[in-house]
Structure 1
Amino acid sequence: MTFLGYPVGGYLAFLIVGPLDSTPTALAGGALTGAVLGLAQAWAFGFSRRGALPWVLSTAVGLAAGTAIGAAVTTYATDTTSLVVLGAVTGLCVGAAQSALLIRRVGSVALTWPIVLAGAWALGWLVSEAVIGSSVDKHFYIFGSSGAIVVALVTLPLPLVLTRRDSAARRSAARLVGSAS
């Protein structure tokens, strides 16, 4: 279900900020896209309100930084190679920001998250570019629904790991409470 956060966040950013065509728009549009995506992910992962806020903020900061760096590196070009590079850089930055939070929950496996997201987001742009073609010339902040579905499938293990770890922690806590009574 988190895949909806990608096109919804990107579309809102496009409507509110305008096209991705400068560092200020990259930062503002990337932050807005990231906030919507982070909120969708936090909701889907079942984070508490206390856990959701850092996730939303880290996703927003990571996406803003990644979009600004990636767009600058590619000089705002929308050819296939540039979009794949933009995706890889943005995914790497979002992954780095999120992994700082994940490390407490999943341990050192969180260090692989930036690499996973870099590859997944590059693939997301590649698929979206193939599906929407010339529409990418409008300078969107993030790939469309087709890319979002691919990224959601590639990154599916994260919510499964988080759910499994949270369930194990709750069972362990219940055992401790039960043995203390």
Structure 2
Amino acid sequence: MSSTPTRTALRWLASFTGFPLGGLAAMVLVGPVDSVATAAAGGLVTGAVLGTVQGWAMRADRRTAAAWSATTALGLAVGLALGSSLVGFDTTMAALAVQGIVSGAFVGAAQAGLLHRRLGRLAIAWPAYLAGAWALGWTITTAIGVEVDEQFTVFGSAGAVTVAALTTVLPTLLVRRDAS
């Protein structure tokens, strides 16, 4: 069965589950993001889960899926450690938006390294796009009243659905590029 852009986008939308599942795993294994060490470790756990789910959603082969998961994990580990420390581990909407910008940019930069082979110079835009999407994810999560003061590694399901919807552009673009 060949992948159409619509089928690909729908599969990618299901990858939103990687955010809450990764966040839950990090909270259980590492605890709240209240230090650089817990931010890095929690980002690594969350990123590994998220990257694995996204690899599945992209129908990546094992090697590509493993690389996607590892780069997402490393990007989030560095981005979350830097972003959360930059805002003093604060959980206000503004602080979490900044944390989202930094985390999204680092995840996007890590992933762009893998995307460059398939997208060329277009991959350069991915970190900035993901930074904006992740800031929005945190803003939505905070605005709807999620208890963000528990210092999660990543935004909640409402933010995750939004980010997944905004980022369907990536797998759709990849399918179109592969078809041409």
Normalization by structure 2: what TM-score?
0.91
Contact 1:102–1:110 under 8 Å retained in 2: yes
Which of 38, 44, 48 aligns to 2:61? It is 48
Where does residue 87 of structure 2 map in the other structure? 74
Which structure would you say has the larger RCO, counting Cα contacts within 8 Å and 6 or more residues apart?
2
Alignment of 1:155-166 (within 5 A): 155-166=167-178
Deviation at 1:15, TM superposition (A): 1.0
Which of 109, 127, 144 aligns to 1:114? It is 127
How many residues were matched structurally? 167
* Residue identity in the other structure for 2:149: D
Q: Which runs of 5+ in 1 are unaligned?
A: 169-181
Which of 11, 19, 23 aligns to 2:32? It is 19
Which of 121, 136, 140 aligns to 1:127? It is 140
Which of 70, 77, 96 aligns to 1:57? It is 70
Q: Deviations over 1:86-108 (max 9, x none)?
A: 00000000000000000001111
Name which one, 1 or 2, has greater alpha-carbon Rg.
1
Deviation at 1:132, TM superposition (A): 2.9
Q: Deviations over 1:72-130 (max 9, x none)?
A: 10000001110000000000000000000000011111000000000000000000001
Q: 1:12 & 1:37 partners in 2: Cα distance?
A: 11
Identity of aligned residues (%): 50
| Larger proportion of helix | 1
Deviation at 1:67, TM superposition (A): 0.3
Is 1:92 aligned to 2:105, yes or no? yes
Normalization by structure 1: what TM-score?
0.90
Contact 1:45–1:163 under 8 Å retained in 2: no
Deviation at 1:50, TM superposition (A): 1.1
Which of 121, 143, 162 aligns to 2:155? It is 143
Which of 95, 112, 118 aligns to 1:105? It is 118
* Residue identity in the other structure for 1:152: A
Q: 2:32 & 2:122 partners in 1: Cα distance?
A: 36
* Residue identity in the other structure for 2:172: L
Q: 1:49 & 1:156 partners in 2: Cα distance?
A: 21
Where does residue 28 of structure 1 map in the other structure? 41
Q: 2:75 & 2:179 partners in 1: Cα distance?
A: 28
Quote the RMSD (CA, aligned, Å). 0.8
* Residue identity in the other structure for 2:66: L
Where does residue 152 of structure 1 map in the other structure? 164
